[in-house]
């Protein structure tokens, strides 16, 4: 393992390499002088045609690799003389190195024909032209491009962030021999278990509901350069006010059938076959394309997908070159023009981490596989450890090899490495849907990107938040991998949610920052596909994972864990009765008295692995 103390040396090399062209910036004039644009409608196996924009270097003296992104978010601006993607710094290395750059509207979106289906199931054994999925559309597109284009070198790379990261993962599943490298970045993988529609069955409504008009609505009648209108709007007033006064049933009435995906969500509250078929991990078998997984430790939209897709790829393809890079970033921040080196008042590095990513991670990876350049490709795992704020290069991301450890909750509000010796011990609180615990100091605005890192002092004094704190650490503790919350609870009603938050508290209580948090809908505690009510008064086990962490609690700091039963309006409120939440009325939401047990028979705890 190699620990990177500073980025200065790597950035210096990149700066020298680019110095020769610093006087020749990429602008509209430069782009027009070096590239031409062509637009195609590429036919798929079922006859549907997909809009594709191809930017080709004017240099015809050599061949060029192809780098492709497939998107549901538009390839605009349309027209052979219109382009603007070059304004993003992420493309500078590729443009100067004369890549052929390809952008495609996926099926049913913008200028492409066909019907748009959100995360359609992957079809492993396609039997006919009607067996359509995103892997097949990628295969057909690449095949057509290789026949049509001139001066390409026959090698294709596919990348994408967020939903586009899902399409990149499907490109690997296409098994086209020319697709030799893919980079799924913050890919959505499972919209029920951990990405930006649900977490463990709880609806991520603050992200999903405002996004519904973008997820495909019935107003589309065919290919268009304009966003399909969505009027009247779903949300009126401020976020906090709207979600407090409107149930999910009210939202269904406001959507009024205009978004088929919302109807699917409502029809499938449990992790049934419909959701299971849309788990992107089903497409990770037999992959031969080299893979670079990319994600952010503070990704609010897709904190689950990057880790789970990486694990699935490694498990299903042991010999695959599958690398992972995760930094202290929000959703896609590594692709922006900013430095991506600070968040929520915390500075992680003085240098630009986005420049480090562009020059030392993504570009060298594609150069290796699309051009055969192997000088500075990224390590098998390049992970930023917050707390100590440094990169670590590893042979792979295998946190289970670390030392399994536990933090147990105690009735005096302390955390200890050893379980309680008491026979009857618990902490209690009342969860009231009429006064839910806020996820952020200001809940009236759209979801704030720094909510995963800010200190939690703003809820410390609430009676419905349990807080447990360790003694001052005498040595550094580096936590790696997924965390497991194991709670033993008893309720006065038949259902409740549970939120667990891990927090780093600086010396003397200063600079508190949240490290990781997650929510679990209690009815799914035993089986996500078969919900069960709680028996009032009966002690039951609720266990769930918090997404992977790479964080060092420094000596002199303390570890804090908070437990609560609402996280509003980030996730929908639970009526705290075992009823159909999607058809519940405001009158169905009732208070619930909750006991968190922590004794010899019920050792509630947070489990994790320590880096050796």
pLDDT tens per residue, range 224-279: 998 878 889 999 999 999 999 999 999 999 999 999 999 999 999 999 999 999 99
pLDDT at 4 over 50: no
For residue 23, the model assigns a pLDDT of 53
DSSP structural state of residue 309:
H
CA distance 59 to 512: 54
CA neighbours within 13 Å on the CB side: how many for 98?
A: 14
| Mean pLDDT for the chain overall | 94
| Residues 485, 199 contacting (CB under 8 angstroms) | no
CA distance 485 to 594: 16
pTM: predicted TM-score of the whole model, two decimal places: 0.94
Q: What is the mean pLDDT of residues 550-579?
A: 98
The CA distance from 229 to 222, in Å, is 13
Q: Does the pLDDT of residue 195 top 50, yes or no? A: yes
Distance CA 391, CA 94 (A): 25
Residue 341 pLDDT > 50: yes
pLDDT of residue 3: 44
pLDDT per residue as tens digits for the range 266-316:
999 999 999 999 999 999 999 999 999 999 999 999 999 999 999 999 999
Q: What's the mean pLDDT in 393-418?
A: 95
Least confident among 20-24, 138-142, 346-350, 415-419: 20-24
Structural element, H or E, at residue 252: helix 248-255
Q: Please enumerate in sequence order all residues whose Cβ is within 8 A of that of 9, keeping only pairs 6 or more positions apart, or say none.
A: none
When computed from its CA atoms, the radius of gyration of the chain, rounded to whole angstroms, is 25
Q: pLDDT at position 21, please? A: 46
Q: Which two tokens stand for residue 449?
A: 């990107």
- Strands 64-71 vs 152-161: parallel, antiparallel or unpaired: parallel
Predicted pLDDT of residue 430:
98
5-9, 78-82, 177-181, 439-443: which range is least confident on average?
5-9
Across 205-213, average pLDDT: 95
Query: In Å, how far from its chain's centre is CA 440?
Result: 20
What pLDDT score was predicted for residue 95?
97
Task: Convert the pLDDT of each residue in 99-157 to its tens digit.
Answer: 999 999 999 999 999 999 999 999 999 989 999 999 999 999 999 999 999 999 999 99
DSSP string computed for 467-495? EEEPPPPSS-EEEEEEEEEEEEEEESSS-
Adjacent-strand bridge partners of 55: 37, 101
Residues 550, 449: Cα–Cα separation, whole Å = 19
DSSP three-state, residue 405? strand
In the block, residue with structure tokens 């789970």: 308
Mean pLDDT for 45-58 is 98
Q: At what angle do helices 260-267 and 248-255 cross, to 10 degrees?
A: 150
Partners of 15 in the β-ladder: none
Average pLDDT, integer, range 579-586: 98
199-208 in b/e burial notation, b at 16+ Cβ within 10 A?
A: bbbbbbbbbb
SS3 of 190, please? Answer: coil
* Contact indicator for 75, 111 with CB cutoff of 8 Å: yes
pLDDT band at 94, cuts 50/70/90?
A: very high
In this model, does residue 13 exceed pLDDT 90? Answer: no
Given a cut of 50, whether residue 336 has pLDDT beyond it is: yes
What pLDDT sits at residue 444? 95
Longest Cα separation, the chain: 80
Q: Is 486 exposed, middle or buried (0-12, 13-18, 19+ CB in 10 A)?
A: middle
**Mean pLDDT calculated for residue range 395-400:** 92
- Residue closest to 285 by CA, chosen among 321, 312, 323: 312
Give the C-alpha separation, 534 to 492, whole Å: 9
């Amino acid at each position: 393992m190699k620990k990177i103390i500073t980025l200065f040396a790597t950035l210096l090399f990149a700066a020298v390499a680019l110095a020769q062209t610093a006087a020749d910036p990429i602008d509209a004039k430069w782009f027009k002088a070096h590239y031409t644009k062509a637009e195609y409608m590429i036919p798929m196996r079922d006859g549907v045609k997909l809009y594709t924009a191809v930017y080709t270097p004017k240099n015809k003296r050599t061949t060029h690799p192809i780098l492709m992104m497939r998107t549901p978010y538009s390839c605009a601006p349309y027209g052979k003389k219109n382009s603007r993607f070059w304004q993003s710094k992420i493309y500078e290395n590729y443009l100067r190195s004369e890549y052929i750059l390809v952008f495609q509207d996926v099926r049913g979106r913008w200028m492409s024909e066909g019907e748009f289906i959100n995360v359609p199931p992957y079809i492993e054994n396609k039997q006919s032209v009607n067996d359509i999925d995103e892997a097949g559309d990628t295969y057909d597109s690449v095949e057509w491009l290789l026949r049509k284009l001139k001066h390409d070198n026959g090698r294709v790379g596919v990348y994408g962030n967020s939903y586009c990261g899902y399409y990149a993962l499907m490109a690997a599943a296409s098994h086209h021999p020319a697709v030799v490298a893919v980079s799924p970045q913050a890919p959505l993988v499972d919209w029920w278990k951990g990405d930006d529609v649900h977490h463990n069955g709880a609806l991520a409504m603050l992200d999903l509901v405002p996004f519904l008009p973008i997820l495909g609505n019935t107003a589309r009648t065919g290919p268009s350069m304009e966003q399909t209108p969505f009027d009247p709007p779903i949300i009126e007033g401020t976020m906090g006010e709207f979600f407090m006064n409107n149930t999910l049933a009210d939202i269904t009435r406001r959507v009024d059938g205009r978004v088929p995906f919302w109807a699917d969500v409502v029809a499938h509250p449990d992790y049934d076959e419909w959701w299971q078929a849309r788990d992107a991990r089903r497409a990770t078998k037999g992959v031969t394309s080299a893979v670079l997984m990319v994600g952010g430790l503070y990704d609010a939209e897709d904190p689950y997908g990057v880790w789970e897709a990486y694990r699935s790829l490694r498990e299903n393809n042991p010999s695959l070159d599958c690398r992972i890079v995760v930094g202290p970033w929000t959703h896609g921040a590594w692709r922006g023009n900013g430095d991506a080196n600070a968040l929520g008042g915390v500075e992680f590095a003085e240098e630009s981490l986005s420049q480090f990513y562009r020059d030392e991670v993504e570009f060298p990876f594609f150069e290796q596989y699309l051009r055969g350049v192997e000088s500075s490709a990224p390590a098998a795992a390049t992970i930023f450890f917050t707390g100590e704020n440094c990169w670590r290069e590893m042979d792979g991301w295998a946190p289970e090899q670390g030392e399994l450890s536990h933090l147990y909750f105690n009735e005096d509000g302390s955390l200890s490495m050893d379980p309680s010796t008491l026979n009857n011990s618990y902490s209690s609180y009342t969860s009231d849907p009429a006064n839910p615990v806020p996820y952020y100091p200001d809940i009236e605005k759209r979801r704030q990107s720094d909510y995963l890192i800010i200190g939690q002092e703003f809820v410390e004094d609430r009676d419905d938040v349990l807080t447990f704190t360790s003694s001052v650490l005498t040595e550094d503790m580096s936590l790696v991998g997924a965390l497991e919350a194991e709670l033993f609870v008893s309720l006065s009603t038949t259902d409740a949610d549970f939120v667990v938050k891990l927090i780093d508290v600086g010396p003397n209580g200063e600079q508190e920052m949240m490290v990781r948090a997650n929510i679990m809908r209690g009815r799914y505690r035993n089986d996500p596909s078969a919900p069960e009510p709680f028996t009032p008064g009966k002690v039951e086990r609720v266990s769930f994972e918090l997404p992977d962490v790479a964080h060092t609690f420094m000596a002199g700091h303390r570890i804090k864990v908070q437990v609560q039963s609402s996280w509003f309006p980030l996730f929908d409120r639970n009526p705290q009765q075992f009823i159909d939440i999607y058809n519940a009325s405001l009158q169905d939401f009732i208070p619930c008295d909750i006991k968190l047990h922590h004794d010899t028979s019920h050792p509630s705890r947070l489990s994790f692995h320590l880096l050796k």
